């Protein structure tokens, strides 16, 4: 009853080799037994994630439930047929063993926790599915830390669109010529107005309305001034690109010695700032970051697409305890001591999951402490 269901060749090379029989030529069928679901090409919707070759020649085919059927390609017995995944499909499959799918979580819970002589005698599958998805959503914020990232370049507009599955940002950084991150900080120096009503030309200050009776919206003067601001006058920085990787050179004393006295530490940095423009659904950046390469790290809720709906095995017990507690807490006539017991079990399992997923290693602690002028002997 091993959990590995695909061969080393399917996992590492993304391929499966067959020997043709020629019996069903020219529409011979071959069954892919790997974990990746094969996709057909659908015009305007999706592209296939595999190819099939007969004696090295690419052949036309269709795939239904991982059964690949050659389309009018003659085969004879003994020919070598290879199903090959695309690079993107192979990379999506790498490391998948550390996760358990949402479907498996639901099935396992129904087997282990629901039935006669069990605390939950019966429950609808839809209820289990709802609580499992809510658990994944809640865990994604603090425990699982489903961090995603995008590599972007700040355009001339100084704004980038909020990612489609964005819930909250983790960190934004610009990348120097060494590939080193420099944190971009949120600022309270300015803001992005949500509404910009156009005032009446008569000077009364009353907003003007359109034909639908709604206030007309203008262009933000605040944002225009911030976009064109000279950041050096705010931060006190002489040269925003003076040093890569925060390495000081001999020019530091020549250009900046004694000239930073009295600067505000909150604004005295060269990395720039960002604000969140909820009106336009964008992140806006200060002018010194124009054309900079940035790394945008953010968290999602784990429910945006099917691929994201998976749980790390280190948090598997926590999701089971969450489902059990949520079902029992919402039912009538369940003794309070049982509900409290499962609440405690949920809290304990969640704490264990956080410790496991923190991935703290002793050697990393030692290395950090060495940088704190505290020599640790070993």
Q: Which helix (H) or strand (E) holds 139?
A: helix 125-142
The larger pLDDT score, comparing residue 19 to residue 254, is at: 19
Instruction: Look at residue 43 and tell me whether its pLDDT is greater than 70.
Output: no
Edge-first strand order for the sheet with 61-64 is 29-31, 67-70, 61-64
Residue 130: the pLDDT is 95
Question: How confident is the model over 242-287, as pLDDT tens digits?
Answer: 444 444 455 555 555 556 666 677 777 788 899 999 999 999 999 8
Residue 262: exposure state from Cβ atoms within 10 A (0-12, 13-18, ≥19): exposed
Q: Are strands 67-70 and 29-31 parallel, antiparallel or unpaired?
A: antiparallel
Mean pLDDT over residues 148-166, rounded?
93
| DSSP designation for 198 | P
Query: How many Å apart are CA 187 and CA 201, to the nearest integer?
Result: 33
Q: What is the mean pLDDT of residues 8-25?
A: 92
Q: How confident is the model at residue 239 (pLDDT cuts 50, 70, 90)?
A: low
**Among the ranges 91-100, 223-232, 262-271, 322-331, which has the highest mean pLDDT value?**
322-331
> What pLDDT does 240 receive?
45
For strand 57-59 and strand 99-101, is the pairing parallel, antiparallel, or unpaired? unpaired
Q: How far is CA 226 from CA 94, 177, 230, 296, in A?
A: 44, 26, 9, 21
Encoded tokens for 376: 């640790």
Tell me the pLDDT band of 366, cut-offs 50, 70 and 90. Answer: confident
pLDDT, residue 141, reads 85
Q: Is the pLDDT of residue 188 over 90?
A: no
- Look at residue 213 and tell me whether its pLDDT is greater than 90: no
The band of 186, judged by pLDDT with boundaries at 50, 70 and 90, is: very high
Decide if 36 contacts 89 (C-beta within 8 A). Answer: yes
Q: What is the mean predicted confidence (pLDDT) over 298-305?
A: 83
Q: How far apart are CA 194 and CA 341, in angstroms?
A: 46
Does position 61 have pLDDT exceeding 80, yes or no? yes
The pLDDT of residue 48: 87
Cis peptide before 66 (omega within 30 of 0): no
Comparing 205 with 46, the larger pLDDT belongs to: 205
Half-sphere exposure of residue 54: CA atoms within 13 angstroms, side-chain side: 24
Looking at residue 301, its pLDDT comes to 85
pLDDT of residue 247: 45
pLDDT at position 254, please? 53
The pLDDT of residue 44 is: 60
pLDDT class for 305, splitting at 50, 70, 90? confident
Asked whether residue 148 carries a pLDDT value surpassing 60, the answer given is yes
pLDDT at 236: 63
The reported pLDDT for the residue numbered 224 is: 86
Residue 349's CB is within 10 A of a number of other CB atoms, namely 19
Least confident of 37-46, 65-74, 250-259, 307-316: 250-259
> What's the rounded mean pLDDT across residues 312-321?
94
Per residue in 319-329, pLDDT (tens digit) is 999 999 999 99
Give the whole-angstrom CA distance, residue 6 versus residue 35.
Answer: 6
Mean pLDDT, residues 96-119 taken together: 92
More confident residue, 193 or 343: 343
Phi, psi of 287 (to 5 degrees): -65, -25
pLDDT more than 70, % of the chain = 88
- The model's confidence at residue 202, banded by pLDDT at 50, 70 and 90, is confident
DSSP 143: T
The half-sphere exposure of 164 on its side-chain side, counting CA atoms within 13 A, is 3
- Print burial letters for 274-308: b (CB count within 10 Å at least 16), e (below 16): bbebeebebbbbbebbeebebbbebbbbbbbeeeb
């Amino acid at each position: 009853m091993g959990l590995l269901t695909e061969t080393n060749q399917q996992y590492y090379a993304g391929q499966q080799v067959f020997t043709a029989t020629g019996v069903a030529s020219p529409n011979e069928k071959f069954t892919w037994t790997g974990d990746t679901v094969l996709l057909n090409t659908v015009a305007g919707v999706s592209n296939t994630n595999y190819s099939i070759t007969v004696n090295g020649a690419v052949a036309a085919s269709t795939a239904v439930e991982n059964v690949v059927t050659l389309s009018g390609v003659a085969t004879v017995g003994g020919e070598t047929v290879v199903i090959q995944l695309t690079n993107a499909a192979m990379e999506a499959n790498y490391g998948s063993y550390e996760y358990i799918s949402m479907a498996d979580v639901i099935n396992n819970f129904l087997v282990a926790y629901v039935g006669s002589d069990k605390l939950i005698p019966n429950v609808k599958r839809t209820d289990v599915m709802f609580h499992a998805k809510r658990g994944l959503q809640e865990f994604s914020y603090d425990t699982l830390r489903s961090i995603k990232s995008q590599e972007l370049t700040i355009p001339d507009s100084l704004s980038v669109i909020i990612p489609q599955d964005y819930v909250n940002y983790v960190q934004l950084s610009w990348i120097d010529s060494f590939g080193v991150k420099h944190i971009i900080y949120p600022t309270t120096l300015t803001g992005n107005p949500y509404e910009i009503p156009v005032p009446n030309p008569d000077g009364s200050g009353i907003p003007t309305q359109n034909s639908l009776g709604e206030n007309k919206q203008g262009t933000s003067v605040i944002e225009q001034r911030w976009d064109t601001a000279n950041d050096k006058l705010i931060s006190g920085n002489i040269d925003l690109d003076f040093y890569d990787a925060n390495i000081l050179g001999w020019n530091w004393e020549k250009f900046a010695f004694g000239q930073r006295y009295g600067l505000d530490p909150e604004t005295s940095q060269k990395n720039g700032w960002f604000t969140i423009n909820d009106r336009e659904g964008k992140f806006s950046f200060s002018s010194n970051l124009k054309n900079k390469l940035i790394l945008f790290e953010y968290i999602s809720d784990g429910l945006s697409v099917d691929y994201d709906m998976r749980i790390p095995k280190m948090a598997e017990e926590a999701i089971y305890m969450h489902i059990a507690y949520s079902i029992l807490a919402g039912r009538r006539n369940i003794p309070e001591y049982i509900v409290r017991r499962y609440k405690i079990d949920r809290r304990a399992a969640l704490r264990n999951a956080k410790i496991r997923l923190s991935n703290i290693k002793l050697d990393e602690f030692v290395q950090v402490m060495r940088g704190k002028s505290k020599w640790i002997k070993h």
